[in-house]
Structure 1
Amino acid sequence: MGELLNYNSYGRKVEDLWFSPAELFRKMQGYQSPLDFYGEAPEFLALREGYAEDLRRAEEAPSIFENLNLRIYQLPDTAWSHRIVGAFSNLKARNHPEQAQVVMVEKSEKTQLVSVRAPKTHPVGADEICLQFEGGGRPAAAGIDELPTAKFEDFQQALVQRFCV
């Protein structure tokens, strides 16, 4: 349930979300417990279905770089890709614990949103990479709000140096 509520908070604007967080909170208050909301609310069913569809679309995205230690995905500038970027990054990290996972979402022709997950087998370095490009986060998971597209090669080189050497 927490993962779906978190998923519903990702988006460039509230209109990109399935429900505004305030609206979802009001709907939850009508239930005796959060578990009742999870099992009965049509809004939660819509979230589960939306999540599954967004994840299906993300899974179709090809990796733009891949080796034994690192995989980079590129998603388009769409509402679904902004909603699923965090969950997709976490899923890929769980499914490929030996690899660093990077998911990039186009924001414009000039910038990318970036989500970085260090390998689960050695969960450090994501923050160090992102800090070099005006991002931040934790050692295992970090991000960059606006990576200039012109800096992608430098970013990729930093990833390779950190995770592939």
Structure 2
Amino acid sequence: MNYDIFNGDADGIIALLQLRLANPINGELVTGVKRDIQLLEQVQVRPEDRLTVLDISMEKNSAALINALDVGADVFYADHHRCGDITQHQNLQAHIDLDANTCTALIIDQLLEGQFHLWAITAAYGDNLIAKADELATKVNLTKVQAEQLKELGTLINYNGYGSNISDLHFHPADLYRALLNYPNPFDVIIDTNSPFNLLQTAYQQDMDNALAIETKHTSACLSVFELPNTAWARRISGVYGNFLANQQTDSAHAVLTDNNDGTYTVSLRAPLDNKQGAGDVCSQFETGGGRAAAAGINALAKSDLPNFIKSVESHYLV
């Protein structure tokens, strides 16, 4: 049995998209909302199964990975998040790159020697690697208008992945992946009025308008904190709103809190774009926290822990 196991955000979806455009394989799709990252646990692995795992932390899936390898499965693993100690096993192909200026789709792009390079650029934009994506767009002679189109598409695919559960999303990530698989060229998604692009574009603007009306909860020399309410629109926009804020003030960290209505916050933390490090380390200090150097989060931060979180962020970035 073939399993494609991937993060439900732009990077995970587009990483798999490139692989399956290059090498079509029918298999079971295992994915979920962006923060649902312990996906390997959902698979009942059998000997001779083939697992393709994309854009989920090896550190967070280490036990399930070891179990899959011990059972006798072959595993292809590509990611850019905190990995812990990389398991050494003859059945594991691991392509891990923790560079803050890469993402899983760019790792796959290199392995495929640029077969679907425009999709990889789209993913980089969606993962908020704006400078890197701009650089790649310039190298392939895209116009500013074309680059902005890929940036919007990547942002919209990423936006669709955020929510506390699938019901918050406009498309199940597996369904969005299947829809995008019909388009070897991302520009074809944009011009097709029947593609997911138009629906996501309208929904994104509505949610972003709501977020932009929110006032700052906390501001300091190196951190701005915003609190969003316990609503579906807030859960959907939280991650891309954090990216938006990071691009508006590149010398500061930004945290977006979403009220979980149970005494906790879901946290999206963005490192300063001028100092893209430490976000994953800070969030990992808290239970349910993790991520990568430039962007990380906490699934359930107790409201009583918010002062400690703010102190941890500020002590890390204050110079």
TM-score, normalisation: structure 2: 0.48
Moved more, 80-89 or 154-163: 154-163
Is the counterpart of residue 64 in structure 1 residue 198 in structure 2?
no
Which consecutive segments of 4 or more residues in structure 1 shift more than 6 A? Answer: none
The residue identity in structure 2 corresponding to 1:75 is: L
Q: Distance in 1 between matches of 2:181 and 2:279?
A: 37
- The percent of aligned pairs where both chains have the same amino acid is 36
What is the RMSD computed on CA atoms of the aligned residues? 1.8
- CA offset at residue 68 of structure 1? 2.6
- CA offset at residue 19 of structure 1? 2.2
Q: Distance in 1 between matches of 2:185 and 2:317?
A: 44
- CA offset at residue 113 of structure 1? 0.5
Cα distance per residue 1:49-81 (max 9 Å; x no partner): 111111111111111101231100000111111
Using a 3 Å threshold, how does the CA distance of structure 1 residues 33 and 98 change in structure 2: closer, same or farther?
closer
Q: Distance in 1 between matches of 2:180 and 2:274?
A: 37
TM-score, normalisation: structure 1: 0.90
- CA offset at residue 96 of structure 1? 0.3
Q: Distance in 2 between matches of 1:28 and 1:122?
A: 33
The counterpart of 1:47, out of the listed 200, 206, 224, is 200
Is the counterpart of residue 106 in structure 1 residue 263 in structure 2?
no
Using a 3 Å threshold, how does the CA distance of structure 1 residues 65 and 32 change in structure 2: closer, same or farther?
closer
Retained in 2: the 8 A contact 1:114–1:146?
A: yes
**Greater RCO (CA < 8 Å, at least 6 residues apart):** 1
From the CA coordinates, give the structure whose radius of gyration is larger.
2
Retained in 2: the 8 A contact 1:75–1:105?
A: yes
Retained in 2: the 8 A contact 1:109–1:149?
A: no
Matched positions, count: 165
The residue identity in structure 2 corresponding to 1:14 is: I
Using a 3 Å threshold, how does the CA distance of structure 1 residues 132 and 28 change in structure 2: closer, same or farther?
closer
Using a 3 Å threshold, how does the CA distance of structure 1 residues 121 and 25 change in structure 2: closer, same or farther?
closer
The counterpart of 1:132, out of the listed 278, 281, 285, is 285
Residue 61 of structure 1 aligns to a residue whose secondary structure is coil
The counterpart of 1:23, out of the listed 175, 196, 205, is 175
The counterpart of 2:270, out of the listed 108, 117, 136, is 117
Residue 136 of structure 1 aligns to a residue whose secondary structure is strand
